[in-house]
Chains A and B, each alone.
Chain A
């Protein structure tokens, strides 16, 4: 089916829904690289006008990537909950935006609606939203998950402590971990991106974090972000694995390029659930995503990069994750050129993920070949804080010396807590108070008052 708008004497036609969605996307370099972007600003708005008139139900009839060709499409179609969709079934995309912003769309209503929405509906409505809409709508979506801490309560912010080291040196990793804990970071997860993939060395990293968490009774969870097959192997070998991590994308083909499919993810989740290591809940998965991955793997089927990204959230929601992290600025300027594009993409990802019922965090980040700097990240940090982001990254000094990019620092998280009054997860806040790192309000104490520092330092020095 084709779509069209007339503006003055010019008629803009769009061959199909996939083309319409791509042309309606706010400008970004990845869609230009793919040859999918609108040719002019007017064509982009024409596409938005046409998209605003498309009934939401149309997305149930016209698949952007054919059902027969793609298991992610099959997942989306086969798990769609028509009863939950009913309250908005008669709306167009434009009317859906209005409704989302209205007082009728309360947190409870949005929570119940989530299983009735498909990624394509959510991507479509986000294309009609300004940044402030993306913030307000996301803020109404409360997604709470649990393993050993409670993440996503309104008014709270968690931090993934990311203590990477270029050679996986245990003492180097532990030194950064101590730094983060003393700055009150780590309530989302302590997650290492390993440089290598030797099973014995990976097992040592898992054991090291397990010892830390157990000995100091820290209400958090660990993760070693290696390929899912290595995590399954580790679980089978009796290694103490808390969360299972995997990078995922929005098409079967991009997932294949990551060496995974849905069946493998199911196997991994079952293995982690079998360990029963969560004390408060059973959200055992940690997923990472990012716009541009499908194009980068030549696996996008002519679908714009933002829609591909939201389809990845359909994969995530099938596995009830603890954390979903969009690593927004890591991919580089050929997909998101500058601070403006990175900021927009982050707000879209966060809002779309939340609408689908996912515990969204954002790696607020950039590379040195992107046209962006710390001021751009500060703006994004505050906007995501206002939007109610579940978690952000904590990297020492914002400089990841293994992955060679800039993310948010422990200081950045402290800044956001102070600026917006955001609290640690309740369990972690109690722990910080108990060991003397922070007071009951979450404000850091002088390290002189911190009883736990000598013992933590000793553990760091004996690591490896």
Chain B
């Protein structure tokens, strides 16, 4: 006697190739089959881990220093991951002692890269060093500040870092809020003349940097073009957008 089959398959499963949405999952009575329930739970667990597991700062530092970068280490005013999630205002500001320490490294830099855990430490752990390695050869003529590793940090923390170090541009490489199918997505935010109080309209963004999204090499090329466009136009944000499109078009041509 064969075992009873409780699961009803959906007869439109071929439509799955048209979308990444979770369609044609089948059902048992009214409910999700076991396999689909667990697949969802796994995706959510990965997304939660991306948010909650702390960045392994030492491993990231080793990666970066292996590629010849000098690094500085800072933290935001959020004293715990819980505080970080509940208080975006704390995540935007440096601890007082870290702000003071950065002043010791103040110089005349074109660009500072600020690597922040944001909402996905995993994205930063997996892609940030590779992205810097890819973008560095494209910026050889520029003065690049030591790389700043910032924990429990929001995008705007890079403004205060950039101001303290005397950089013309701050670039925040930050873990994006994970989607259910994208726990490892890195975001890049560029701000010209960074200083406390800049708003999001004054930034330019490259998002969804991950193997299944925008590949690292392509993101590095876009970022280099964006940096040059911002240095040339002496601005970032909405005003740079059009100029940047032009620069991107040129960088894409042979």
Binding site for B on A (CB under 8 A): 29, 32-33, 163-166, 169, 171-176, 178-179, 182-183, 333-334, 337, 367-369, 373-374, 395-399, 401, 404, 406, 409, 411, 414-415, 417-418, 444, 446-448, 453, 457, 460
Contact = CB atoms under 8 A, between A and B. Distances in A.
A165 B85 CA distance: 28
Interface string B68-92: 0000000000000000011111000
A29 B19 contact: no
Contacts of B59: none
20 contacts: A33-B86, A33-B88, A163-B21, A172-B20, A175-B18, A175-B21, A176-B21, A179-B24, A333-B86, A368-B180, A396-B22, A397-B22, A399-B43, A401-B180, A404-B182, A414-B30, A444-B27, A444-B30, A447-B10, A457-B15
B85 A333 contact: yes
A398 B31 CA distance: 13
B47 interface: yes
Contact of B23 (A29, A164, A176, A373): A176
A411 B86 contact: no
A460 B18 contact: yes
B8 interface: yes
B187 interface: no
Interface in B79-107: 85-89
A289 to B, nearest CB: 21
Given A398-B40, A447-B10, 15 more contacts: A33-B87, A163-B21, A164-B21, A178-B12, A178-B15, A334-B86, A334-B88, A337-B86, A369-B119, A397-B22, A397-B23, A397-B32, A409-B32, A415-B31, A444-B27
Interface in B1-40: 8, 10-12, 15-16, 18-25, 27, 29-32, 36, 40
Interface in B107-137: 119
A175 B15 CA distance: 6
Contacts of A406: 44, 180
B87 A334 contact: yes
A382 to B, nearest CB: 14
B12 A374 contact: no
User: Which 9 A-B residue pairings sit nearest by Cβ, starting from the closest?
Assistant: A397-B22, A414-B30, A172-B19, A404-B179, A179-B23, A368-B47, A175-B15, A175-B18, A396-B21
B19 A176 contact: yes
Nearest to B14: A457
A70 to B, nearest CB: 24
A163 B18 CA distance: 12
Interface in B36-64: 36, 40-41, 43-44, 47-48, 50-51
A182 B15 CA distance: 13
B20 A368 contact: no
Given A33-B86, A460-B15, A397 B30 contact: no
A411 to B, nearest CB: 5
| Residue with the greatest number of chain B CB neighbours at <10 A, chosen from A32, A164, A182 | A182
B195 interface: no
Given A175-B18, A368-B44, A397 B25 contact: yes
| Residue with the greatest number of chain B CB neighbours at <10 A, chosen from A164, A165, A404 | A404
Contacts of A173: 19
Contacts of A174: 18
B237 interface: no
Given A367-B177, A368-B180, A401-B181, A411 B25 contact: yes
A397 B21 contact: yes
A411 B31 contact: yes
A458 to B, nearest CB: 11
A444 B31 CA distance: 12
A351 to B, nearest CB: 26
A399 B86 contact: no
A368 B179 contact: yes
B194 interface: no
A182 B85 CA distance: 39
A399 B22 contact: yes
Contacts of A337: 85-86
A399 B11 contact: no
Contacts of B30: 411, 414-415, 417-418, 444
A268 B179 CA distance: 34
| Residue with the greatest number of chain B CB neighbours at <10 A, chosen from A333, A368, A460 | A368
B51 A169 contact: no
| Residue with the greatest number of chain A CB neighbours at <10 A, chosen from B29, B86, B181 | B86
B166 interface: no
Contacts of A172: 18-21
Contacts of B88: 33, 334
Contacts of B12: 175, 178-179, 182, 447, 453, 457
A374 B30 CA distance: 16
Nearest to B49: A368
Contact of A29 (B27, B51, B86): B86
A165 to B, nearest CB: 6
A165 B22 CA distance: 11
A367 B19 CA distance: 21
Nearest to B46: A368
B18 A169 contact: yes
Nearest to A457: B12
A130 B49 CA distance: 33
A459 B236 CA distance: 45
Contacts of B19: 165, 169, 171-173, 175-176, 401
B113 to A, nearest CB: 24
A233 B15 CA distance: 33
| Residue with the greatest number of chain B CB neighbours at <10 A, chosen from A166, A397, A398, A415 | A397
B214 to A, nearest CB: 13
B44 A411 contact: no
